[in-house]
Amino acid sequence: MLTLVMITCLTAATTSPGSHPKTGYGCNGFFLGRCDLFPFRLFCFGGEVCPCPDDGAEGGIFGSGLNGNPRDWEGEPYVVPSTIQPYSPPKGPEKPTDPVPPEMKKISQASEASACVIVKAPLDRSISINGVPLSRKSDSETFDTPPLQLGMNYSYTVVARVKRDGQEVSESRRVPITAGGRAEVDFTLMRGDNKASTVTILADRESVVRVNGSKVVVNGKQTFDTPLLSIGQSYFYTIETDTKKNGKTLTEKRKVDVVAGQVITVDLRSQTTVAAR
């Protein structure tokens, strides 16, 4: 038995004088055909049309041979699709989306800031700010205020208290401050404290100097401490100097203010008084 593997091919049909229409299918192999009375074998795929007499000749598709009777092998011709779909490559994974950064916001300038207050006072004195006692461990400490509004003026009331001779002595000071600023309050000396001052006198060697009527040997420069002076009180010294000029003695009198704890310099050469602190 001859096994034929068939594939579908396009049917070619032509008409020539003295011949029958040629129809049929080609094959992957060969067909046994005939030309009138003698057998003929032709191969598919490019074989010649059957070289038979005109009557009864039947050619196969692409020159393949078929039986001379077209009714023995007929089929539908191959129809080419009218619509051709374009090739679409498979879609790959989509590009990952970049993360969206948070919205940028303008940084506004700070509207508040703290200030610092430096408090100086011996530890034997209690200090309070706006009525709130401070806990201190040294003679000089710095304290931060709560946040203050910029552009505004503030003030603190600082009070120092100390006992003298069984009685409490207090002193209050108003301390102005602004946001981000710095202020200092010093209670090292309070009213009722006693402290000496230091006075330095500068004069020519030939001059004679008297302090409150008492002659003082200066010899160009002389420094002395005053007696204990009460804090908060004002004092003064009267200083006189005798200087010879052109055979004459010229006397000059000067009043010098002194407060407790002050250090001052009196320059009689230039007729000026210089306060050191």
pTM of the full predicted structure?
Answer: 0.41
State residue 199's pLDDT score.
92
Rounded Cα gap, residues 269 and 162, in angstroms: 43
CA distances from 58 to 18, 71, 87, 223, 276 (A): 12, 11, 40, 153, 141
Q: What is the mean pLDDT of the chain?
A: 72
pLDDT of residue 138 exceeding 50: yes
Give pLDDT tens digits for 229-247: 888 788 999 999 888 888 8
Average pLDDT rounded to a whole number, residues 120-144? 92
Domain limits, the chain: 1-79, 112-186, 195-275
Residue-wise pLDDT for 50-77, tens only, equals: 444 444 444 444 443 444 444 444 445 5
| DSSP letter string, 141-209 | EEEEPPPEETT-EEEEEEEEEEEETTEEEEEEEEEEEETT-EEEEE-SS-TT-EE--EEEEE--TT-EE
Structure tokens at 145: 């205020």
Q: What is the DSSP string of 69-86?
A: -GGGS--PPP---S--PP
Domain at 112-186, CATH from 1.10.10, 3.30.70, 2.60.40, 2.30.30? 2.60.40
Close Cβ partners of 60 (under 8 Å, ≥ 6 residues apart): 22, 24, 25, 26, 27, 31, 33, 42, 44, 47, 50, 66
Above 70 in pLDDT, residue 226? yes
pLDDT of residue 94: 66
What are the beta bridge partners of residue 275? 264
Q: What is the pLDDT of residues 101-111, one digit of tens each?
A: 656 555 556 68
Average pLDDT over residues 247-276: 79
